[in-house]
A = this chain, B = another copy of it.
Amino acid sequence: MRHLIDPMDLSVKEIEHLLDLADDIILHKEKYQEVCKHKKLATLFFEPSTRTRLSFEAAMMELGGNVLGFSSANSSSATKGESVSDTVRVVSGYADIIAMRHPKEGAPYAATRKVTVPIINAGDGGHNHPTQTLTDLMTIRREKGRLNNLTIGMCGDLKFGRTVHSLIKAMSRYENINFIMISPEELCLPDYIIKDVFEKKNIKYKNVRTMEEVMPELDILYMTRVQKERFFNEADYIRLKDSFILDERKLVDAKKDLCIMHPLPRVNEISTKVDDDPRACYFKQALYGKYVRMALIMTLLGVSADEDR
């Protein structure tokens, strides 16, 4: 039995299979709409995350399966002092697969020890969120046609943004990736990623302070939210925040086939006027998330369209 706790649990080959399957699901939805009949997904969300939860639930339903679960800890037994491990062990008698989100890092991993069904980490604190990473990889592959030979700009909060960290690690396994980090100094990439990933693997990267100076080079622009509370003082926040807001004006020199991504929810870091630009891929990205979760659920459950018919 396999779980998915860390995006790096999957080999490059396994990711390729998942993305191929997700592509096939998009092309042949009918083929897959009963493959999980009589199977149940439990969504155990110890902290709320509507988008992720609904994406998992839609994924399971489009495979013909059922969904049960909870959407926040206060509707769970956690409030009575039960351990996560106990909750998950009991639920594993009620469902065939579990998607679990928890504010505490490592909670999903701890849950795997006693469990008899596959667990998918749907986000554990600032740590991992592997289905977001799979969503990002699927978006890049579908929009650019490849996962190598890319210049990827990452913009905003690169210090705390786990999606950025995971995506860097995941992309570092492909050939000829060039990373450009666009952030205020206060929110730049942690040293350990620079050392353990970029330097160890001899990957090209640079840090810059504005989008404009690198825009013409970018194949991918990955935007993230800059949260006010990350700054030491209001003055710094006000001085810096505009540099990390994407608007139409900043896109003037961008490539015609730039792919603009964002894990969502967006607050104001991308102007809504950019939404109509064909390069804006973030709503497509949210949609791809459903398909890659369908592929993942099928893979972990060991079901396939062929077997089922």
Chain A residues packing against B (C-beta within 8 Å): 33, 38, 40, 42, 48-51, 54-55, 57-58, 61-62, 64, 66-72, 74-77, 79-83, 85-87, 89-91, 93-95, 114, 264-267, 272, 275, 283, 286-287, 290
Q: Which 5 A-B pairs have the closest CB atoms?
A: A82-B265, A58-B94, A93-B287, A81-B267, A71-B75
Residue of B nearest to A286 (CB): B90
Smallest CB–CB gap between A193 and chain B, Å?
25
Q: Which residues of B contact A76 (CB under 8 A)?
A: 48, 50
Q: Which residues of B contact A80 (CB under 8 A)?
A: 265, 267
Q: Which residues of B contact A42 (CB under 8 A)?
A: 54
Q: Quick check: B265 and A86 within 8 Å, CB to CB? A: yes
User: Quick one: which of B51, B69, B86 contacts A77, CB cutoff 8 A?
Assistant: B51
User: Quick one: which of B38, B90, B283 contacts A264, CB cutoff 8 A?
Assistant: B90
Known interface pairs A48-B76, A50-B77, A94-B290; 7 further A-B residue pairs with C-beta atoms within 8 A, sorted by A's residue number? A38-B64, A40-B58, A51-B90, A58-B68, A70-B71, A72-B75, A82-B265
Q: Given A67-B68, A68-B61, A290-B94, do A264 and B82 touch, yes or no (CB 8 Å)?
A: yes
23 residue pairs of the A-B complex, CB under 8 angstroms, read A38-B62, A48-B76, A49-B77, A50-B75, A50-B76, A51-B90, A54-B70, A54-B91, A55-B94, A58-B93, A70-B71, A72-B74, A72-B75, A77-B264, A80-B267, A82-B264, A82-B265, A82-B267, A83-B272, A85-B272, A86-B265, A93-B283, A114-B275
